Chains A and B, each alone.
Chain A
Amino acid sequence: MFSQNLREMLDLALFWEYRQILLAGLAFNFYVFAVSAVVAVSLGFLAALGRVNPLRPLRWLGAIHVETFRNAPDYVMLVWVHFVLPLLLSQMLGQRITFAPFVSAVIALGLVYSGYLAETFRTGIQAVPKGQIEAARACGMGGALIMRRIILPQAVRMMLPEAMNNFVSLFKATTIVSLITVPDLMYRVSMVTQQEMRPLPLYTGAAITYFLLIWGVAALARAGSERWRRKIWA
């Protein structure tokens, strides 16, 4: 029985049969990833700037942002943004508002990963030795110029590996958007499973697909960021 099951599991013909539908699903994972990555990077950078700011209220705001979203489970955030946030906005604006599942997904994942990325950015920013910043100030450079010309070029390289980890996690998290009916790969797998009643090859196929994709991309990203980091001055 076991070997028969194994053959069925490895018989990914069914998975292959639905390849077009499934691929279209995978594309949704990428859409969600791309848009939430933009949201997460922008918000995360702002939060990091808050956390390293000399002004105490801004530091507090940054810390609250980071601690809230970094400690929020993806799924809880997803459900909250999809079912609660529109209601709150409706109450505030006095008109009915709903979010398309895609929008909720992007907001929720963007918020959660902005928390992780903010910490990554902050670590990178603070890793630039203080003396270099003093030297820049002594040359008459202002805060924005120092950030752009002295801190960021170094911080980006230092935080790249960790940021890559954050992005890989974000991509993995996109698989849960099926739970609010964004038609991604997992969503379509469960639809097809209900039609065909054969979860074995379908879920196995999905697992293998995600594994190969994420493992491959993560390995590439690791190698790439290491090479870039080692380049020149170090």
Chain B
Amino acid sequence: MADAASTPPCVEVVDLHKRFGPLEVLRGVSTRVDRGSVVSIIGASGSGKSTLLRCINYLELPTSGEVRIDGEAVGFERRPDGQVRKRSAREIARFRQDLGMVFQQFNLWPHLTVLGNVVEAPLRVRGMPKREAMELGRACLARVQLSEKADEYPARLSGGQQQRVAIARALAMQPKVMLFDEATSALDPELTGEVLEVMRGLAADGTTMIVVTHEMAFAREVSDRAIYLHNGLIEEEGPPAQVFGDPKSDRCRQFLAKLLH
């Protein structure tokens, strides 16, 4: 355990396939995300970025392949005797607690206050005592600079504020990894800054993050590694300086060139 190299990576994806009927959206994706690192995923619309994220926390059931969190497969259990057993929905839900997800459309619960949104899962899923949950909730809101909005309802907040609440809600699960699916795409341009700022802060604090984004400058700045996804396959993967600055793949080069115009 003392040896860093021997501990399993935080998230490991092995030969992941996903099809929707005849359409194969993921065609064998394998990668790993180490603890404390930030991985960004870029790629054209429809390349399967969202599907990959959603398969990682089993919102979509992968057609085949494996997702491992801290070395444990999410979808099934390997018994010591070598037998493999599919996990129940309840067990998979337990794994999801370790994965905080932030959606493009915020998806806040409008009938709960901001603080209510944040403490819902700690209270009801983790079974945390109320006092402790409230403290945790307020701490998470402080991290996204929204302490003063705790008792507002989501509908009264701007888009940027709503997305920050969604981030706080995910943080409150104290997850091992945060997954961001185009967290700023639904926002007006002048509101993206505040959300990116919060994400930058998380990265600086050493949060493990997988970030699907169209904000290339941001991705280049914060990530330790970048992945270019094309038609359900990893086409290019490496340090951001390489992927953004000198990609080996022509498709990735073209994709980046198009974005610059």
Contact = CB atoms under 8 A, between A and B. Distances in A.
Nearest to A131: B107
Interface string B163-183: 000100110010000000000
A166 to B, nearest CB: 23
B89 A233 contact: no
Contacts, number: 72
B176 to A, nearest CB: 13
Contact of A140 (B153, B166, B173): B173
Interface in B85-122: 89-90, 93-97, 99-101, 103, 105, 107-111, 120-121
A213 interface: no
Contact of A139 (B96, B105, B155): B96
Interface residues of A, number: 22
A139 B125 contact: yes
B110 A139 contact: no
Interface string A150-172: 10011001000000000000000
A82 to B, nearest CB: 43
B107 A135 contact: yes
Contact of B121 (A129, A139, A233, A234): A139
B213 interface: no
Contacts of B90: 142
Contacts of B173: 139-140
Nearest to A232: B153
B103, B109, B110: residue with the most chain A Cβ atoms closer than 10 Å = B109
Nearest to A157: B111
B109 A145 contact: no
Nearest to A154: B111
Interface in B103-147: 103, 105, 107-111, 120-121, 124-125
A149 interface: yes
A142 B88 CA distance: 11
Given A140-B96, A141-B93, A134 B107 contact: yes
Contacts of B111: 153-154, 157, 233
A134 B58 CA distance: 11
Nearest to A233: B153
Contacts of A232: 153
B72 to A, nearest CB: 15
B171 to A, nearest CB: 11
B248 to A, nearest CB: 34
Contact of A233 (B95, B105, B155): B155
Nearest to A153: B111
B124 A145 contact: yes
A142 to B, nearest CB: 5
A134 B59 contact: yes
A132 interface: yes
B170 to A, nearest CB: 8
Contacts of A150: 109
13 contacts: A129-B107, A135-B107, A137-B93, A138-B59, A138-B96, A138-B100, A138-B101, A139-B96, A140-B93, A140-B95, A233-B153, A233-B154, A233-B155
